Amino acid sequence: MIGQIVVLEPAQYESWLSGGLASGSLASSGQSIFQQLGCATCHRSDTQGRGPNLIGLFGKPVQLEDGRAVTADENYIRESILNPSAKIVSGFKPIMPVFQGLVSEEQLNALIAYIKSLNQPPAGAAGTPSLISPGTKPQQSKE
């Protein structure tokens, strides 16, 4: 196997980790991946989606089909993308495809950043962010 190791100063690494060395933010990369994978087909901002609405989801409790409630944190979102049948949201069928092995760790981090960014309206915009409007650049979380 041939690989590449890139060594960065701590500040450069933090910038890279937050998406600063790529064009656009990590969240905007996640939005592109979200669109490319067809996630917006089911995870819509209206009540017509076959999957849960993701706007304002991050950090909130999620009621599961088995009666448990979990917090929609990074671990929950990661698991929901990689193994969606592990925790089925109440009121929804287990129809989401498994993305384990289909998305890279970098893509997964970008998707999580995008979903986190849906808790805040885009800069200068009124109302809530849209899951399906192309060209919207959500704000990156500053945690």
- Number of other residues whose CB lies within 10 A of the CB of residue 77: 20
Q: Under a CB-based contact definition with an 8 Å cutoff, are residues 90 and 98 in contact?
A: no
SS3 at position 45: coil
Q: What is the pLDDT of residue 43?
A: 92
Task: Give the per-residue pLDDT at 123.
Answer: 53
CATH number corresponding to 18-43+50-117? 1.10.760.10
Q: Give residue limits of the domains in the chain.
A: 18-43+50-117
The pLDDT, as a whole number, for residue 2 is 67
pLDDT of residue 46: 80
pTM (predicted TM-score): 0.69
Low-confidence ranges of the chain (pLDDT < 70): 1-4, 15-16, 18-24, 121-143
Question: What is the pLDDT, as a whole number, of residue 52?
Answer: 93
What one-character-per-residue DSSP string does 62-113 give? EEBTTS-EEE--HHHHHHHHH-GGGSPBTT--S-PPP-TTTS-HHHHHHHHH
